[in-house]
Amino acid sequence: MRFDEIVAQLGDFGPYQKRLYFLMCWSFAIVSVQILAGVFIQATPKHRCALPGLLNDTYISQGPWHDELVNASIPWDSDEEMFDQCMLRRAPDGLDNDTASCDKWVYSKHPFKSTFVTDADLVCSEKSLVTYASMILMCGMLFGSLVLGVLSDIIGRKKVLVISTFGQLCSALSVAWAESYYVYAALRFFVSFFSVGLILTSFVMGMELVGAKKRRYAGVVVHLFWCLGLFIETGLAYGIRDWKYLQITITAPVSFILLLYIAMLPESPRWLLQRGKTEEAARILQSVANKNGVKLTEKFKSLEDVEIEGDKESIWQMFTHRVLLTRSLIVFFNWFVASMVYYGLSLNVGDLSGNIYLNFFLSAVVELVSYLCLLALLDRLGRKFWQCFSMILGGVACIATMFPVMYGGEDIQWVTVALSLVGKFGGSAGFVVIYLYTAEIFPTVMRNSGMGLCSLCARIGGILAPYIGDLNVIVDGDLGIALPLLIFGSLSVTAGLLVIFLPETSHKVLPDTVEDAKNFGLSYGSLTKNNTLSSSSVGKAQDQDNLAFSLDDSK
């Protein structure tokens, strides 16, 4: 007896599953707020060197006398059409053009009253530290996936969920009191470390009791809460312009979520069965049945002969056959690129021209639209079409931005914003589709291992994203602005074209063994189960779609 048969007896998506799923979805909202908070708390406003000897110097003009001092002391940058942000004239009479770097700055109070960058003076020679902070954040997600994922298999899902939520709460609150760069970067590392453990474990717990027919939709709906977090963050950041108060405000609700998790969540029945705790698992499943108004048969009550898939996984089986190896490498590359493009575009919204709050809001809207399109059309058009279309669309849009950036003026900078949003649409959709697509391509015996490697590839892409996104720091001029999007676009188009060599998985019975996977999608394969299903058997096949609900989240 398979565990999915027990879930079918409980009901695909009964009242209990809905409450559990809804509660787990909120973890995506609180994580998205923390991961992308750097757009605001690490923003760099306009600035210039502070005038020597003037204690009350401000970026905004204090009058004609102040303007004269600024003109005499600060050289004019004709390329940027603003006062130089890093240099002072050695002679303040304005007659000598010899300059020197400064060690104190004044910042514009619009649109931010303060950011961590302004408090720590991470500008000029120190501005690369902002990029490193974002890379350290992504490193936290990498190590969190490895450590907390393994820990959840050892001590239990609920314990890791509570630890992750508590860890995120403490580290995120502490960020607001960070005074030095190294303390700030370390705390942000732990924010993402515990955040990825939070969404990984909550996704597992939320999906494991959802029936196979509903998992496909539940796997996309959860990302709507990720977008909800972005909308909430936009409003809070717009109203709270001081980064410390903003950080405290976006973190405070986590304490309420933590109490709900401690009080309301049971341990994972699947994990209990894997650890041989049958009686405890039976009590939880009976409670679920009672709340759903379902009566379990004696066979299901006793959990006799229940089988938990995944016990015989071997990660190296992916590389034992040419077909599996080719498909695995294509999938790994798509994960790598999807993560890089998503986080590269998301974390660098502030580099786009125009209002940062409006751009961030529009980015969230585009992401939401992409998920809604997937809900409506994913099954109709198929996984292969959507993955290929999304990655190529996003890639072409990113590449096209180089033209308005390099050859256009300020009057058409909205075209750059529009194209980057189209790129965000493709990257967001591709990130979700590749998760589902991967879970359906890999056979059951290696599905969890395969998704683990895919998650590793995604984290590497996320680590590189901030560095590529900030290439404008290294490369001057319009080329420096266009280069990150050109790199993102080229890789995205390449990933989309490679998807052509993958089989379609929609409305097909998924492979269970390595032999099934070798023949999956081949019209001449010996297994008739890999052929497209007739209308009479589609319903049965959908019961077996996307069985990999105990896997890492796509974000």
Report d(CA 137, CA 513) in Å as an integer. 37
Q: Determine the residue type at 458.
A: A
Q: Residue 481 in 3-state DSSP?
A: helix
Compute CA distances 116 → 30, 43, 46, 85, 314, whole Å: 21, 8, 14, 18, 46
Asked if the model's pLDDT at residue 1 lies above 90, the reply is: no
Report d(CA 301, CA 310) in Å as an integer. 23
- Residue 59, C-beta contacts closer than 8 angstroms, at least 6 positions apart: 46, 47, 48, 106, 107, 108, 109
- Other CB atoms within a 10 A radius of the CB of residue 545 amount to 20
Q: Which of 501 and 324 is assigned the larger pLDDT?
A: 501
| Cis peptide bond N-terminal to 111, omega within 30 | yes
Length of the chain counted residue by residue: 555
The radius of gyration of the chain from alpha carbons, rounded to an integer in Å, stands at 26
SS3 content of the chain, % helix, strand, coil (to 5): 70, 5, 25
Query: Chain-wide mean pLDDT for the chain?
Result: 82
Report d(CA 237, CA 246) in Å as an integer. 6
User: What pLDDT shows up at residue 162?
Assistant: 94
Give pTM, 2 decimals: 0.84
Compute CA distances 546 → 22, 228, 506, whole Å: 20, 25, 10
- Percentage above 70 pLDDT, the chain: 82
Most confident of 105-119, 341-355, 514-528: 105-119
pLDDT digits (tens, 9 = 90+) for 233-258: 999 999 999 999 999 999 999 999 99
Q: Which of 366 and 300 is assigned the larger pLDDT?
A: 366
Residue in 398, 399, 406, 394 with CA at minimum distance from that of residue 430: 394
**If pLDDT is split at 50, 70 and 90, which confidence band does 419 have?**
confident
Asked if the model's pLDDT at residue 539 lies above 90, the reply is: no
Structure tokens at 117: 């960058």
Instruction: Determine phi and psi for 338, rounding to 5 degrees.
Output: -60, -45
Owner of token pair 């720590």: 120
pLDDT digits (tens, 9 = 90+) for 57-86: 999 988 999 988 888 888 887 766 788 888
- What is the enclosing helix (H) or strand (E) of 77? strand 76-77
